[in-house]
């Protein structure tokens, strides 16, 4: 069983910043990929940013609308992921969800896990 706990959402004015955090815990052997998704009212959930650890470097991708403004990173223990959000716009308003692909430390089976979501509201 893997649990993801998110924090850092809130209300901010346009142009402001927020930093989202997500910590994974439970019976984890490894977490290869962690990411952030968001869902605005009436829209599909979309990938915002993801980071995959492997070899000597991490692979990172962002949705085009946040490139240059958002930065995703992993903690030293690799069970945490952060999303630094700068120059926030009203269109960034959404519920943001943490996601992780993890291998169980019990049987090494892969599972996909989601946090409960944290609300980000950007006022104009």
Tens digits of per-residue pLDDT, 81-94? 999 999 999 999 99
CA separation for the pair 69, 114 (Å, rounded)? 24
CA separation for the pair 88, 11 (Å, rounded)? 11
Q: What pLDDT does residue 76 have? A: 81
Q: Which two tokens stand for residue 14?
A: 């346009």
Q: Provide the pLDDT confidence category of residue 1 given band limits of 50, 70 and 90.
A: confident
| Nearest of 85, 23, 78, 19 to residue 52 by alpha carbon | 78
Most distant CA pair in the chain, distance: 49
Tens digits of per-residue pLDDT, 22-79? 999 999 988 989 999 999 999 999 999 999 987 778 899 999 999 999 999 998 877 9
Instruction: Calculate ∠ Cα 19-20-22, nearest 5°.
Output: 145
| Nearest of 26, 7, 11 to residue 98 by alpha carbon | 7
């Amino acid at each position: 069983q893997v649990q993801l706990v998110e924090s850092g959402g809130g209300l901010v004015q346009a142009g402001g910043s927020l930093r989202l955090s997500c910590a994974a815990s439970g019976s984890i052997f490894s977490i290869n990929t962690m990411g952030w998704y968001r869902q605005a009212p009436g829209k599909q959930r979309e990938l915002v940013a993801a980071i995959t650890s492997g070899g000597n470097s991490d692979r990172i991708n962002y949705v085009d609308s946040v490139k240059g403004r958002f930065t995703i990173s992993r903690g030293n223990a690799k069970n945490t992921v952060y999303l630094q959000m700068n120059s926030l716009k009203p269109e960034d308003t959404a519920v943001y969800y943490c996601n992780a692909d993890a291998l169980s430390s019990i049987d090494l089976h892969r599972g996909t896990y989601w946090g409960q979501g944290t609300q980000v509201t950007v006022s104009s």
